[in-house]
């Protein structure tokens, strides 16, 4: 599939969505947003995709909104005034039943940092930088920054990062829990695909329901969380993969899951 501002590839049950405006550090133009949303929805619906990887072309992951074009954008359509494409993208990422891994290969600034937050896991190059750069442009955070950041680093640190717009490096991001792991630049994609392959080989129904439970249960009390877990567990117990998991345990061999 060909897009104007995104490279899309599916291999071994892993869909890779590469933001492809390297000359602008993959700033989020309207076309790139449209391309990303379309590829995201196609990946979510494709039974041959088990995991999504999001990364950037060139030396940056995503520099956020395209500041150079902000002053020349047309008046937003009515839908975009209360449900802009950026919000629909973030919600679609959380609603996507497949796990999403960000391979942060360089700068992730403003909306770019928050796009990485909307992924379920984040692996980073040692050259990656993160910043809530909105304040330096006189802007309020969007793309979910005020939702994701306090949940990851705590309120006080989120306030500091958002109020100052200061940049942090990959090691600091790892210490704060923003990223799962840090790798040398040349090892990042290999490590990302190794993790993606491991997840893609797992029981798809159980993993997809676990993703839904994790996000659902952030915002409910314990009783509601337990009820949702029971609902999900009852579904997985009826799958072929559940039977294969038990059988492989008894036979002392690795399970071979089929996603059914």
Give the pLDDT confidence score for residue 186 in this predicted structure.
Answer: 97
Domains and CATH numbers, the chain: 6-200 (3.90.226.10), 204-250 (1.10.12)
167 by Cβ neighbours in 10 Å (0-12 / 13-18 / 19+) ranks as: middle
pTM above 0.95, yes or no: no
Give the pLDDT confidence score for residue 230 in this predicted structure.
Answer: 97
Give the pLDDT confidence score for residue 83 in this predicted structure.
Answer: 66
Give the pLDDT confidence score for residue 74 in this predicted structure.
Answer: 59
Q: Which residue has the tokens 């329901």?
A: 209
23: Cα within 13 Å, side-chain hemisphere: 3
CB–CB of 15/46 below 8 Å?
A: yes
In 69-185, alpha helices (H): 78-82, 85-95, 111-117, 145-153, 155-164, 170-175
Give the pLDDT confidence score for residue 84 in this predicted structure.
Answer: 87
Q: Which residues of the chain have pLDDT under 50?
A: none
Question: Tens digits of per-residue pLDDT, 37-59?
Answer: 999 999 999 999 999 999 999 99
Element (H, E) at 190: helix 188-200
Question: Tens digits of per-residue pLDDT, 62-75?
Answer: 999 877 665 555 56
CB–CB of 129/171 below 8 Å?
A: no
């Amino acid at each position: 599939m060909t897009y104007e501002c995104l490279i899309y590839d599916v291999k071994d049950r892993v869909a890779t969505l590469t933001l492809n405006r390297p000359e602008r550090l993959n700033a989020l133009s309207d076309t790139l947003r449209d391309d990303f949303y379309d590829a995201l929805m196609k990946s979510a619906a494709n039974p041959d995709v088990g995991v999504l990887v999001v990364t950037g072309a060139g030396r940056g992951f995503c520099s956020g909104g395209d500041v150079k074009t902000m002053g020349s954008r047309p008046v937003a359509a009515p839908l975009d005034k209360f449900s802009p494409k950026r919000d629909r993208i973030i919600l679609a990422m959380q609603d996507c039943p497949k796990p999403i891994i960000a391979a942060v290969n360089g700068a992730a600034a403003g909306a770019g940092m928050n796009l990485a937050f909307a992924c379920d896991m984040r692996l980073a190059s040692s050259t990656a930088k993160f910043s809530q750069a909105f304040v330096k442009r006189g802007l309020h955070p969007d793309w979910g920054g005020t939702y994701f950041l306090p949940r990851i680093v705590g309120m006080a640190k989120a306030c500091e990062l958002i109020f100052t717009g200061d940049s942090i490096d990959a090691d600091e991001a790892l210490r704060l829990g923003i990223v799962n792991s840090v790798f040398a630049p040349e090892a990042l994609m290999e490590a990302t695909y190794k993790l993606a392959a491991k997840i893609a080989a797992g029981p798809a129904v159980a993993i997809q329901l676990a993703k839904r439970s994790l996000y659902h249960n952030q915002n409910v009390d314990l009783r509601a969380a337990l009820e949702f877990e029971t609902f999900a567990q009852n579904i997985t117990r009826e799958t072929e993969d559940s039977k294969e998991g038990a059988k492989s345990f008894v036979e002392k061999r690795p399970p071979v899951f089929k996603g059914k």
